[in-house]
A and B are shown apart, each in its own frame.
Chain A
Amino acid sequence: MLTLHTTDGGSWFKPGELIEGRASWHFDEEVDAVEVRLFWYTTGKGTQDVGIIRALRTDSPDASGHRDFSIRVPDGPYSFSGKLITLAWAIELVALPNGETERLDLRIGPQPVEVDLT
């Protein structure tokens, strides 16, 4: 079981701010590693693009454990939606190699709403 949350429960962060939080896990079977990843991705019509900003890896984790994380938000890109694509941000906790994932959707930008390009 994986859980992921930011320290204050927030999901909007401005460029330059720190995203702080805790990733926790409990596994019945051994895993090689867990990773906390901050990334953006595009979705909509067409193929997806993904940019991983930071990946914090913990090798050979205990069956139950946690990791506090602190990742600085880059200058961009901002979260936005246009007619054809949405650019979204998320932070995820991934168990390797089985790929079990817990994800927290974020909004990145100067305002608490994604930029509307329509």
Chain B
Amino acid sequence: MNSVAVARFRPADNPFASHRVEGLAYRFIGFGLTALRQRLEEMGGRSAIVGPKSSGKTTLLDELASTLPGDLVQLRIQGGCRHPWHSARDQLPKPVNPNHLVLVDGAEQLGPLGWRLLLRATRHARGFIATLHRPGRLPTLIECRTDHSLLFDLVEELVPADASTLEPELEGLFHRHGGNIRSCLRELYDLYAGRIASSQ
């Protein structure tokens, strides 16, 4: 058995690789997780994390889940899922009981009927938190927003030494991708890989 170092630049070595991007923590502005939990309690445990695509809703939901006690039921409804209600139903415990706290990522995939069926199926749960693109279906716990300073903050964490050289490009990048942080970071992945390739 040997340990072997690999010298060439691999996708895993790119600072914008998925394992690094997915390891970024949610950036709170003005208040933190404790205040959010308190707000959730005040709202009776039923509320929504609202925001556009790739604005940190899933990251925040996962962070919130890691701090919540009790029986967590975590549903993920993938984008483009043909039968989102069936997907949600299949992930639910049977029956849902008053100890369960149901967390639904991707609830915007559900149509009006699927949404009503999900609410009905989880009505005995002690709590219900969903991520949604738009407010309205549940009281809003928090609205996730993005701006180019958030993008800079994340880039600075991923590439502290190079963030300032990338900064001039970030505002244009942010607008080109319509505020979608994940798309911005994917373009930066390509940019970084290109820079490494041209320097080798």
Contacts and interface: CB of A to CB of B under 8 A. Distances in A.
Instruction: Please indicate which of the listed interface residues A47, A48, A86, A113 has the most CB atoms of chain B within 10 Å of its own CB.
Output: A86
Interface in B141-196: 186, 189-190
B6 A114 contact: yes
Contacts of A99: 66
A86 B11 contact: yes
- Category for how many chain B residues contact A: 10 to 19
Nearest to B190: A45
A9 B1 CA distance: 8
B3 A86 contact: no
A48 B22 contact: yes
Nearest to A42: B18
Contacts of B1: 6, 8-13
A83 B11 contact: yes
B14 interface: yes
Interface string A58-89: 00000000000000000000000111111010
Contact of B11 (A85, A97, A98, A113): A85
A16 interface: no
Interface string A75-112: 00000011111101000000001110000000100001
B2 interface: yes
Interface residues of A, number: 31
Contact of A82 (B11, B19, B66): B11
Interface in B1-25: 1-4, 6, 8, 10-12, 14, 17-20, 22
A41 B2 CA distance: 21
Contact of A81 (B12, B20, B22): B12
B19 A116 contact: no
A10 to B, nearest CB: 3
A47 B11 CA distance: 13
Contacts of A85: 11
A117 to B, nearest CB: 10
Contacts of A81: 6, 8, 10-12
Interface string A32-63: 00000000011111111000000000000000
Nearest to A107: B4
Contact of B2 (A84, A86, A112): A112
A46 B186 contact: yes
Interface of A: 6, 8-13, 41-48, 81-86, 88, 97-99, 107, 112-114, 116, 118
